[in-house]
Structure 1
């Protein structure tokens, strides 16, 4: 299978459960833009069993809180793009977690406009600036260490 998310390993995760992983986006829209992915290849939200859906939402909320604290904000967007007409460029279920900042985009709603825009403006379009492999590894390692300390300090168990 050529799914890039199925090729991810523990080294690519900054936090994980038995079924889900948090990864930093290769081409972040804003600092902190991360993804929650199922470790098993699941293409559709509708294919996720109810128990796994609940776990994904709980895990996502915990990771979003961590990202907001780490990146010093209390604003965020969540987005799932399902199928190419909705802007999905990788056929593997993933939830975008996007910390938001004052004036990070020209208008606060520009994330949504970009998300539903035509294929030429897809959020995950391959021409968007990407991190180098080394920069992505460094960010993942920083987040992994910070998340471990954060969840220990806050005595929070990851789902």
Structure 2
């Protein structure tokens, strides 16, 4: 780990409650640094490639809730450089296969620079760092969202990526269909997490800052880590 990264992590002063592994200064941290650029809890990282890593999400709504995150600070997944796209798709497919094998299902979504994740009306660098949510859940999220926001359906992920110039701020959801949404009205924070949590009757888990759910994080790590390549190295 280089000296600059050590210095930045030291400044974050990560504090845990004595009775649980809960990060208690998240909002303060994210005023200073993007936690996706410098992930402090390395134990949550299950797999890495040249430009991405797979991490167990803080505040998992269900066991097996993962994130695919770009190592570089890129605003959204559909804004990735073209030369990263094949690597991203291959990693996404690897995650999908593992989640389907272990849990029987997998959906994806991304907020795509739309809607804050921390405080209403405030943009944070952490929120706008490309990260795809990968969830082992049997739910058609698009059916709920399209009742509130007009969407566009795509025949493939490549077709969606080819429209990226038209998609500066967007929501992305892939369940039985691949769809993007662009809202003219202000969305509640963590909009897609809220929609998923309420769809699964887990409304108390929608806020990952308040409900970090470390017990479920540890269960996810224990269950999924053997399924990822042991040669993976954080770079």
TM-score w.r.t. the length of structure 2 is 0.49
Aligned to 1:91: 128
Gaps of 5+ in 1: 152-159
Aligned to 1:119: 188
Higher-Rg member (1/2): 2
Work out the CA distance in 2 between the residues paired with 1:19 and 1:135: 27
Q: Alpha carbon RMSD of aligned pairs, Å?
A: 3.3
Query: Please, which of 81, 89, 100 is the counterpart of residue 111 of structure 2?
Result: 81
Q: How far off its partner does 1:135 sit? A: 5.2
Q: How many correspondences in the alignment?
A: 141
Distance verdict in 2 for CA 1:88–1:120, change over 3 Å:
closer
Give the secondary structure class of the aligned counterpart of 1:100: coil
CA offsets 1:18-42 (integer angstroms, 9 cap, x no match): 1111111112232222110011211
Taking the TM superposition and a 5 Å limit, the aligned residue runs for 1:1-159 are 2-8=33-39, 10-71=42-103, 73=104, 75-85=105-115, 90-101=127-138, 108-109=140-141, 113=145, 118-120=187-189, 122=191, 123=193, 125-126=207-208, 129-132=211-214, 136-137=217-218, 139-148=220-229
Q: How far off its partner does 1:110 sit? A: 7.3
Q: How far off its partner does 1:46 sit? A: 4.9
Distance verdict in 2 for CA 1:19–1:70, change over 3 Å:
same
Give the secondary structure class of the aligned counterpart of 1:55: helix
Contact 2:58 2:208 in 1 (8 A): no
Higher relative contact order (CA 8 A, sep 6+): 1
Q: How far off its partner does 1:118 sit? A: 3.0
Gaps of 5+ in 2: 1-31, 119-126, 149-170, 172-180, 194-205
